[in-house]
Amino acid sequence: MHDISALLLELGAVVLGVSVLGLIAHRVGISPIPLMLLAGLMLGSGSFIDLGAAEPFIEPAAEIGVLLLLLMLGLEFTAGELGQSLKRHSTSGAIDFALNASAGFLVGIVLGMPWQAALALAGITWVSSSGIIARLLDDLGRVANRETPAVLSILVIEDIAMAIFLPILIAVLTGAAWWQALGAVALAVAAVTIILVASQRASGGIRWLLSHPSDEQVLLRLFGITLVVAGLTQLLGASAAVGAFLVGIAVPPSIAERARAILGPLRDLFAAIFFLSFGLPIVPADLLPVLPAALLLAIVTAGTKMATGWLAAKRDGVQVKGRLRAGATLIARGEFSIIIAALAVGAGFTELGPLAACYVLILAIAGPIAARFIVRAPRRDEALA
């Protein structure tokens, strides 16, 4: 009974605190994401406030938050639009890798890291945060902007590429045989291919499942499908976020608007927990020694992401302001970077942990701020500029 009361009290305090942060952000005119990330850091390891009773709930809730963010983003687009955009931006994805991964690798070598740790740092600097960017686009009202398909294409390409990169990285970090890494890569690529094809052909079945007069049934069915597909995607070696995004893509436009209205409050609750949870494992005292190196890395790779977004949006014929918005939107790093850092630390490259945590925290906070203030917010009649 005591554990339940502690859980409820802590969760209640967290949710009320998030509400206050959202109100402050609204008054100031910025996304609440940076404030939630800082709050998580202040409530995390080494702080004077203990959330021990709530942590068993917060961790899975944060995972669900990412899935709902990507599901809701997928509901804004169709499979045809995604396919065309991915084909058009294959070159943009290659440029993204060349600019951002190479920057992390070179900085790692300059800092004197073993090449294996430098390779992990390359992955950390390469991948933007799908969860943060999905919420950011919604907060800033930019989902319908001309530059947004380019941003989403980069995110999807990165998440799919992780299915290839992670098995290779694990093999490098652990000294596994090359054929083991090759087998894991083949399995992950097959899984992603199956899921991409299935998402394009599942619209009829999903329309039938979701064509119900009860909002409760629509919520439960769509949420359940998302969790199952995300779980299978993760089990097969790809990103669960990709699975959730593709479920949204597969929902027919005739149902998508209703689904967004039903899922909106649920998304907001779990997404807030995700952003708050981001800083909980970080010990603030560990960040100070690595702060100069993390700042240097953040400045360099913020610039390379700006270049990535600029070039991708230019490929879509977007004007200068839209290119700047695309680049700034892509700056934030997040969940995948933390996963890669954890793999490296678990393999014995412990020097990467504090640096990665500090780096990701800087860009997770700076990215949304840069996206908000890089250019003035477009009016409705400028959304296609």
Arithmetic mean of pLDDT, 299-326: 95
Residue ranges covered by each domain of the chain: 59-382
Strand blocks (E) in the chain: none
Give residue 205's Cα distance to chain centre: 28
**Topology of the domain covering 59-382:** Na+/H+ antiporter like fold (1.20.1530)
Task: Answer whether residue 48 shows pLDDT above 70.
Answer: no
Report helix, strand and coil shares of the chain as percent, to nearest 5: 80, 0, 20
Mean pLDDT for 260-264 is 91
In the predicted model, what is the mean pLDDT of residues 94-123? 93
Q: How confident is the model at residue 114 (pLDDT cuts 50, 70, 90)?
A: very high
pLDDT tens track for 171-227: 888 776 667 767 767 776 776 677 667 766 777 788 888 888 899 999 999 999 999
Structure tokens at 97: 């890798």
**243 with 227: CB under 8 angstroms?**
no
pLDDT at 382 over 60: no
If 0-12 CB within 10 Å is exposed, 13-18 middle and 19+ buried, where does residue 382 land?
middle
pLDDT in tens, 160-169: 788 778 878 8
pLDDT of residue 121: 95
Q: What confidence score (pLDDT) does residue 282 get? A: 77
- Give, in order, the Cα–Cα distances in Å from 63 to each of 67, 70, 161, 270, 335: 7, 11, 20, 8, 10
CB atoms within 10 A of CB 47: 15
pLDDT for 192: 67
More confident residue, 248 or 379: 248
Q: What pLDDT does residue 383 have?
A: 46
Q: What is the pLDDT of residues 313-328, one digit of tens each?
A: 999 999 999 999 999 9
Distances (CA, A) of 302 to 130, 256, 296: 16, 34, 10
In this prediction, residue 37 has a pLDDT band, given cuts at 50, 70 and 90, of confident
